[in-house]
Every structure is written in structure tokens, then in C-alpha cells.
């Protein structure tokens, strides 16, 4: 279950509830980072962890092709943000 930003184990001090999955642009808004940087990071992460993303059924222009399972990607995003402070 999504009990906070750090997933069920809790890795963050915030109590914000998150949905099961979000697209890269929504994650970028949430963490206040450049959407292209976040998308690039998530694509590289998904190459090594293919179960972290879900293909969307909609293939319309300007709609995301994937959503990412928050419990799978959030710990990596937190580490990436800490290691890459300049965005």
C-alpha cells in the first residue's frame, strides 16, 4: 500500500498519499524537477527494472506511453534526487 512518499516502508518525512502509478511528467511536477530529466531517469531505471512500469492503452499524441509503479520507483527517485542536486 502507498502510505507515503517512501512507500509502505516509509522513506520520507511527508505524509502525502500517492496513487499506485504515475506518469513521468506527474512525478516531475511532484518532485519539482525537469520533466525531461525525470523521464530520462525513469527510462533508464525501467530498462533494468522492467516490472516498474505499465504500458498505457492510449497511444494519443502528448499522452504518456507508460506509468510507473510508485512503490518500485520512489526509492530510486529519492536517491537520484540526492545524488543529482543540480537539475
Interval 50-80: pLDDT, tens: 999 999 987 788 889 999 999 999 999 999 9
Q: Average pLDDT, stretch 10-39?
A: 83
Cα of first residue to Cα of last residue in the chain, in angstroms, is 30
Name the residue with higher pLDDT: 29 or 17: 29
**Contact indicator for 20, 9 with CB cutoff of 8 Å:** no
Can you count the helices (H) and strands (E) in the chain? 3, 3
pLDDT of residue 5: 46
Amino acid at each position: 500500500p502507498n502510505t507515503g512518499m517512501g512507500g509502505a516502508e516509509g522513506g520520507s518525512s511527508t505524509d502525502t498519499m500517492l496513487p499506485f502509478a504515475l506518469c513521468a511528467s506527474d512525478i516531475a511536477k511532484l518532485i519539482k524537477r525537469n520533466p525531461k530529466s525525470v523521464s530520462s531517469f525513469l527510462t533508464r531505471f525501467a530498462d533494468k527494472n522492467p516490472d516498474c512500469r505499465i504500458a498505457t492503452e492510449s497511444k494519443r499524441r502528448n499522452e504518456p506511453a507508460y506509468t510507473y509503479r510508485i512503490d518500485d520507483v520512489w526509492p530510486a527517485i529519492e536517491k537520484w534526487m540526492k545524488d543529482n542536486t543540480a537539475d
